[in-house]
Chains A and B, each alone.
Chain A
């Protein structure tokens, strides 16, 4: 039985938009920048409420990152908004030098991440961004699971000192995290307790992991589901605590199998407690056009894929 029933269906980017408006109301130093995607990023409410604190930079993401870095010098808390592809790969060196190395308090907010962007296809479906961002010293990487959590995460990063990469998505997706559930950067959430396998998931795949756990329960397998909404800094204690009890792990992410959540957890396991681990991730491929559900199925990120990964992991215990 899934203890987190579906409450609603909303896009995580709208959770960002709601959180940004609220963050702006709470702190007059919060400013926002957007590269010609105000509607897509749901930043219009902020732009309307605080026109003096909203900077439209046009289709010029490199400049946006630099302006954001400069704004921090006057004590501002800038949130940049564009698609995940243009928030990372396109501007990697700007983020590296002017934000990460310079230690600037910029919040890089990235929508339309992963395959579930859908029909726009592989040019826009970045599957490498978590890896790119978690390699930067000092950069926090947050990948919330649903609308409510994206709103909470947006508010949390606004009061967190230091650069943050916040990754969310485009499609309407089940809302299942209660709006009042505590959220803390760097603190993983055990959503379902189990003893046979630890399923670590982030972003959209947390919902799929819950569904998989439910399916596994029917087969008598008790899976633990952990929402790793912060990939960096990783909640090492939570990871080790869980595998200590279950003895095997499955990681689920809408990302290339190289560099993302799975690798972050594999590193912890290899260094602290060697444990069988299976990956549910894109197998070193680019995506393509299609609906989110079709793409998750084709690229092996769907609920049956998680179930199959669990069964493989169990045989390796």
Chain B
């Protein structure tokens, strides 16, 4: 679908190699932000880096220089699992929504980069507060309905944690999106199998997740969220399935902590900041490709 209003950004011509370099820098940003204030959520942020970079630097039809709350004539993105704010702030800054230097204010007093994202401080790129889990899908549905009412052909994207799917509101929302044929919506689940207290399968198993989303009336596809090529393929495929009467869900397999060897594959780094030595070890694995903030 062409973008009638949003100007194509430079980023949309990015090659897969460019995106990979951006991923390395974004991961550095995540580690440095969380390390600097000794708080925040590195695990899910690292795991969703390829997805967020592909989305903001290749897939979204958006115009960071002309940010507006209503996002008319642009694709919209909502982060429902707001605790992975480090990765979102990094891609927002690096794609031009606000100065990269502002990443240094993450979680500090008087910052627009609150621990969890908010509209309250007027940070460009953020259209909803999130952090209390389970609310973002409803919001994305509302925004998609407004686009339809306004005759705006652009899409709404959202991202959700898998642990978050334990919130009942998510399934209220899933039911209603299918009932109202909200087919301009692509909801992605970060299917990393981890949550704060341990593995999702131990804390509260989700069962057959693809079958659940299908049973709720969604068009479901899967992708490997830590393989850039597969993320681009999956997002392309998801877009091609919009406009056919059903909302689209992407179940995205990722590893929590991906990109830093000692953080990968454990729930431990969900919400723990690395100490000085750990941060140095992590950064040594992540080339500085675009310049640290």
**Main SS class of interface, A:** helix
- The distance from the CB of A234 to the nearest CB of chain B, in whole angstroms, is 23
Which residue in B118, B142, B150 is a CB contact (below 8 Å) of A66?
Answer: B142
Which residue in B70, B168, B176 is a CB contact (below 8 Å) of A58?
Answer: B176
- The distance from the CB of A74 to the nearest CB of chain B, in whole angstroms, is 2
- The distance from the CB of B250 to the nearest CB of chain A, in whole angstroms, is 19
- A61-88 CB mask vs B (1 if < 8 Å, else 0) is 0111111111111111010000000000
- The distance from the CB of B74 to the nearest CB of chain A, in whole angstroms, is 11
Bound together, the chains give a CA A94 to CA B72 distance in angstroms of: 25
Q: Is B273 an interface residue (CB 8 A)?
A: no
Q: Is A161 an interface residue (CB 8 A)?
A: no
The answer to whether residues A71 and B143 also contact, given A31-B149, A93-B132, A98-B135 and a CB cut-off of 8 A, is yes
The answer to whether residues A63 and B169 also contact, given A69-B139, A73-B70, A73-B127 and a CB cut-off of 8 A, is yes
Residues of B within 8 A of A304 (CB): none
Residues of B within 8 A of A285 (CB): none
A83-123 residues with Cβ-Cβ distance < 8 A to B are 93-94, 96-98, 101-103
Which residue in A64, A67, A97 is a CB contact (below 8 Å) of B130?
Answer: A97
Which residue in B72, B131, B172 is a CB contact (below 8 Å) of A74?
Answer: B72
Bound together, the chains give a CA A96 to CA B120 distance in angstroms of: 12
Q: Decide: A66 and B149 in contact? CB cutoff 8 A.
A: no
Residues of A within 8 A of B72 (CB): 74-75
Q: Is B141 an interface residue (CB 8 A)?
A: yes
* CB-defined A-B contacts under 8 Å, sample of 9: A55-B145, A60-B169, A67-B138, A71-B145, A72-B146, A73-B143, A76-B149, A94-B138, A97-B135
Q: Decide: A97 and B138 in contact? CB cutoff 8 A.
A: no
Q: Decide: A101 and B118 in contact? CB cutoff 8 A.
A: yes
Q: Decide: B128 and A69 in contact? CB cutoff 8 A.
A: yes
The answer to whether residues A70 and B172 also contact, given A53-B149, A75-B146, A97-B131 and a CB cut-off of 8 A, is no
Q: Is B152 an interface residue (CB 8 A)?
A: yes
Residues of B within 8 A of A57 (CB): 172, 176
- B117-137 CB mask vs A (1 if < 8 Å, else 0) is 011100000011111101111
Residues of A within 8 A of B145 (CB): 55, 67, 70-71, 74
Select from chain B the residue with minimum beta-carbon distance to A62.
Answer: B169
The answer to whether residues A73 and B169 also contact, given A67-B138, A97-B130 and a CB cut-off of 8 A, is no
Q: Decide: B169 and A74 in contact? CB cutoff 8 A.
A: no
Q: Is B140 an interface residue (CB 8 A)?
A: yes
Q: Decide: A94 and B130 in contact? CB cutoff 8 A.
A: no
Select from chain A the residue with minimum beta-carbon distance to B170.
Answer: A63
Residues of A within 8 A of B149 (CB): 31, 52-53, 74, 76
Q: Which 3 pairs show the lowest CB-CB distances between chains A and B?
A: A70-B142, A74-B146, A66-B138
Q: Decide: B139 and A70 in contact? CB cutoff 8 A.
A: yes
Q: Which of A63, A76, A102 has the most CB of B within 10 A?
A: A63
The answer to whether residues A70 and B180 also contact, given A101-B129, A103-B119 and a CB cut-off of 8 A, is no
- The distance from the CB of B187 to the nearest CB of chain A, in whole angstroms, is 13
Q: Decide: B172 and A60 in contact? CB cutoff 8 A.
A: yes
Which residue in A60, A72, A73, A101 is a CB contact (below 8 Å) of B176?
Answer: A60
Q: How extensive is the interface on chain B, given as a class?
A: 35 or more
Contact count A vs B, C-beta below 8 Å: 120
Q: Is B147 an interface residue (CB 8 A)?
A: yes
Other A-B contacts than A71-B142, A74-B143, 4 sampled, CB-CB below 8 A, are A70-B140, A78-B142, A97-B132, A103-B120
Q: Is B173 an interface residue (CB 8 A)?
A: yes
The answer to whether residues A63 and B132 also contact, given A74-B143, A75-B146 and a CB cut-off of 8 A, is no
- The distance from the CB of A3 to the nearest CB of chain B, in whole angstroms, is 45
Residues of A within 8 A of B134 (CB): 62
Q: Decide: B144 and A70 in contact? CB cutoff 8 A.
A: yes
Q: Is B204 an interface residue (CB 8 A)?
A: no
- The distance from the CB of B149 to the nearest CB of chain A, in whole angstroms, is 7
Q: Decide: A70 and B129 in contact? CB cutoff 8 A.
A: no
Select from chain A the residue with minimum beta-carbon distance to B150.
Answer: A74
Q: Decide: B180 and A98 in contact? CB cutoff 8 A.
A: no
Bound together, the chains give a CA A285 to CA B136 distance in angstroms of: 36
Bound together, the chains give a CA A103 to CA B138 distance in angstroms of: 16
Q: Decide: B135 and A94 in contact? CB cutoff 8 A.
A: yes
Residues of B within 8 A of A55 (CB): 145, 180
Which residue in A31, A66, A70, A101 is a CB contact (below 8 Å) of B169?
Answer: A66
Bound together, the chains give a CA A71 to CA B168 distance in angstroms of: 21
Residues of A within 8 A of B70 (CB): 73-75
Residues of B within 8 A of A52 (CB): 149
- A47-58 CB mask vs B (1 if < 8 Å, else 0) is 000001101011
Select from chain B the residue with minimum beta-carbon distance to A101.
Answer: B129
Q: Is B76 an interface residue (CB 8 A)?
A: yes
- The distance from the CB of A30 to the nearest CB of chain B, in whole angstroms, is 11
- The distance from the CB of A304 to the nearest CB of chain B, in whole angstroms, is 45
Q: Decide: A63 and B172 in contact? CB cutoff 8 A.
A: yes
Bound together, the chains give a CA A291 to CA B136 distance in angstroms of: 41
Q: Decide: A69 and B142 in contact? CB cutoff 8 A.
A: yes
The answer to whether residues A73 and B135 also contact, given A66-B141, A98-B128 and a CB cut-off of 8 A, is no
Q: Is B71 an interface residue (CB 8 A)?
A: yes
Bound together, the chains give a CA A35 to CA B22 distance in angstroms of: 45
Q: Is B69 an interface residue (CB 8 A)?
A: yes
- The distance from the CB of B95 to the nearest CB of chain A, in whole angstroms, is 20
Q: Is B283 an interface residue (CB 8 A)?
A: no
Q: Decide: A68 and B131 in contact? CB cutoff 8 A.
A: no
